[in-house]
Amino acid sequence: MRVEPPVPPDVLAAVRAPFAALGATSIDPPVVQPLGLILDLSGEAMRERLILAQADGGPEAALRPDFTIPAARLHIESGRAGGRYFYEGKAFRAAPRGREAYEEFLQIGVEAFETGAAPAADAEIVGLAWRAAAAGGRGDLTMVLGDVGLFAAFVDTLKLAEPLAARIKRSFASPRRLRETLEAAERAPAANERPAGDRLSALLVGLPEAEAAAVLQDLWALAGIEPAGGRSAAEIVHRLAERAAVERSPDLTPEQASLIGRFLAIADAPAVALEAVARLAGPGGAKLEAALDGWARRLEALEAEGAPAERFRFSTAFGRDFGYYDGMLFEVRSAALGDHRPVAAGGRYDGLFARLGANLACGAVGCMVRPGRAWREGAQ
């Protein structure tokens, strides 16, 4: 396992200092987390980055790839309406292909679960992450901003069939899949060119989901199959039903695919990029107008935070591998390290509590910094 070298104590203290000023509750979530839950909430893009663990005969688990989901679970268990949580500890991920197999690294971060205006809270967290990252001593930092919700609001203006719109929105977290979808639509394939599902899938999607899940479990038992990968029969059946609904819905037209492609090509200074989005969408679309208004307020708040606007860039195509984000996103990057090794990152994920089965009225936004990358002498 590749372990980052220790960061000098003075650098670590400097990176930690902006977080310490928040007065957040300190937490240390369990290192081992349920695999199925991590996959459901983080998304399939994270599957190859997870390090799996399983006791003899026990459920499949994963070493925590980050702290957001564990922090949200701890907050639900606390019974509190809101709160801020500070963490400092190790996270674990399988390295991207071509690098050493596993990574163990230190993260420092905060998760804020509060009511109030999202743009102001977002700006506070972005400013916090910038200050903490810059405290490591690097002078080549830049910030990339994005917004999952803005993409979803733009897709809504296209008036797609609901199953197709939902699939397009989900694919934002997987750029390769989204690109393939757009390219296929621009080739305007005939409906009869769609791949047919296998006979078992056709049987299962023709049944009520609870009944289909029971059938699948019976088939596994008859065949002596032990399901792997963290997916239950109910989850598999639900995904098959969603896929079948998409296949029955109208195709994405070449014109719609082209508009989405033009949206995803926008990347510029934040105010300039957001103006380009408004021009592309045209009038109408209440959700999109609300999202753009939110960004106007967010940028004003960022300026008040003292963030260096000349180092910020907004990219409509920017996303992160963690599928639970549903709003503003960001990464602090170093020119020396490259775009794929961010120094700090975070975003908004208001929908996570509902996906965890909790009925909480608070929003959710957080960030993390990797001190080993913030340190200007570091080579991670």
> Please, which pLDDT band fits residue 372 given cuts at 50, 70 and 90?
very high
142-149: average pLDDT: 97
> Please, which pLDDT band fits residue 213 given cuts at 50, 70 and 90?
confident
Give the bridge partners for 61, in sequence order: 34, 53
Give the bridge partners for 21, in sequence order: none
Give the pLDDT confidence of 187-208 residue by residue, as tens digits: 765 443 444 446 666 666 667 7
- Model pLDDT, residue 231: 62
Write out the two tokens for 171.
């694919």
> Please, which pLDDT band fits residue 39 given cuts at 50, 70 and 90?
confident
Cα-based angle 249, 315, 144 (whole degrees, multiple of 5): 135
Q: What is the dihedral of CA 343, 1, 34, 242, to 10 degrees?
A: 70
First-last CA distance in the chain = 14
Closest to 128 (Cα-Cα) out of 369, 292, 328, 343:
369
The 8 Å CB, 24+ separation contacts for 164-172 are: 164/246, 164/249, 164/250, 164/251, 164/252, 166/242, 166/246, 167/242, 167/246, 168/252, 168/260, 170/323, 172/148, 172/319
% residues pLDDT > 70 (the chain): 83
Q: Tell me the pLDDT of the chain averaged across its residues.
A: 86
Write out the two tokens for 314.
């907004």
Closest to 349 (Cα-Cα) out of 173, 218, 223, 226:
173
- Model pLDDT, residue 193: 44
Q: What pTM does this model have?
A: 0.82
Which DSSP state fits 44? G
9-36: average pLDDT: 94
- Model pLDDT, residue 72: 96
- Model pLDDT, residue 197: 47
What distances in angstroms separate CA 311 from CA 198, 265, 272, 335, one per listed residue? 51, 19, 14, 12
170-176: average pLDDT: 84
- Model pLDDT, residue 173: 82
Q: Which residue has the higher pLDDT, 191 or 364?
A: 364
- Model pLDDT, residue 194: 46
- Model pLDDT, residue 306: 87
- Model pLDDT, residue 244: 59
How many other C-beta atoms can be found within 10 angstroms of the C-beta atom of residue 85? 23
Write out the two tokens for 100.
């050493």
77 torsion bin: left (phi>0), alpha (psi -120 to 50), beta (else): alpha
For residue 278, pLDDT over 70 is answered with yes
- Model pLDDT, residue 190: 42
For residue 281, pLDDT over 80 is answered with yes
Q: Where are the alpha helices (DSSP H) in the chain?
A: 9-20, 35-42, 68-78, 118-134, 148-156, 162-170, 175-186, 199-205, 209-223, 233-248, 254-264, 270-281, 286-304, 352-355, 371-374
Q: Which residue has the higher pLDDT, 50 or 45?
A: 50
Give the pLDDT confidence of 95-139 residue by residue, as tens digits: 766 555 678 999 999 999 999 899 999 999 999 999 999 999 999
Q: What share of the chain is helix, strand, coil (3-state, %, to 5)?
A: 50, 20, 35
- Model pLDDT, residue 225: 65
Q: Which of 187-196, 235-244, 257-266 has the highest mean pLDDT?
A: 257-266
